Amino acid sequence: MTMEKKFVTKTGGCICGEIIFKVKLDEVPRVFNCHCVDCRKKIGGMITIIDLREGAIDIDKTKLGIFEHKAGSGQIIKKHYCKKCTAPVLTYVEKYNKYYLYAGMLDDISILKKAKNIWYKDSHFPFMEISDEKLKT
């Protein structure tokens, strides 16, 4: 018996409302908290991205601006953002020929049950302990 992959359709969009999309995600999406310096500098914070399957997102790409830069590997990365409010929406990684969704663009993020920290040791944050514990106030 083969296991059927289960997918869930979610909606999302940017803060100004210009970008709205539907995305088909795995029941447990592949989520990465990326601590690399490139992500930090282009977003202004540590980022959480979702690895998208081919054709998973239904979005009007004409409304997206693109900022292109080179990754450490020398290959191209294209950050796609809303032309109106500049919110980051997608990132395209040439090395893997894949699109990743900036997780915060989802309207409902309750599907993000698991995440993997990547580029943590080589980042500027090796001193920071990543914890799920509540902060004491």
Binding site for Zn ion (CB under 5 A): 14, 16, 18, 34, 36, 39, 82, 84-85
Q: How far is the CB of 136 from Zn ion (least distance, A)?
A: 30
Q: Using alpha carbons, list the distances in angstroms from residue 75 to 2, 94, 128.
A: 37, 6, 29
Closest CA to 33 of 115, 107, 92: 115
Q: Report CA torsion sign: 12, 22, 47, 79.
A: negative
- Tell me whether residue 24 or residue 84 sits nearer to Zn ion (CB atom): 84
Please identify, using beta-carbon distances, which residue of 8 and 85 lies nearer to Zn ion. 85
Sign of CA dihedral 98, 80, 130, 41: positive
Nearer to Zn ion by Cβ, of 13 and 29: the residue is 13
- Min separation Cβ 1 and Zn ion, Å: 38
> In the complex, what is the shortest distance from the CB of residue 105 to Zn ion, in angstroms, rounded to a whole number?
10
> Helix, strand, or coil here: 104?
helix
- Closest to Zn ion by CB, 2 vs 42, is 42
Torsion angle of C-alpha atoms 114, 43, 82, 72, degrees rounded to 10: -90
Give 8 or 65: the residue with its C-beta nearer to Zn ion. Answer: 65
CB of 38 to Zn ion, least distance (A): 5
> Smallest gap, in angstroms, from Cβ of residue 19 to Zn ion?
5
Give the three-class secondary structure for 120: coil
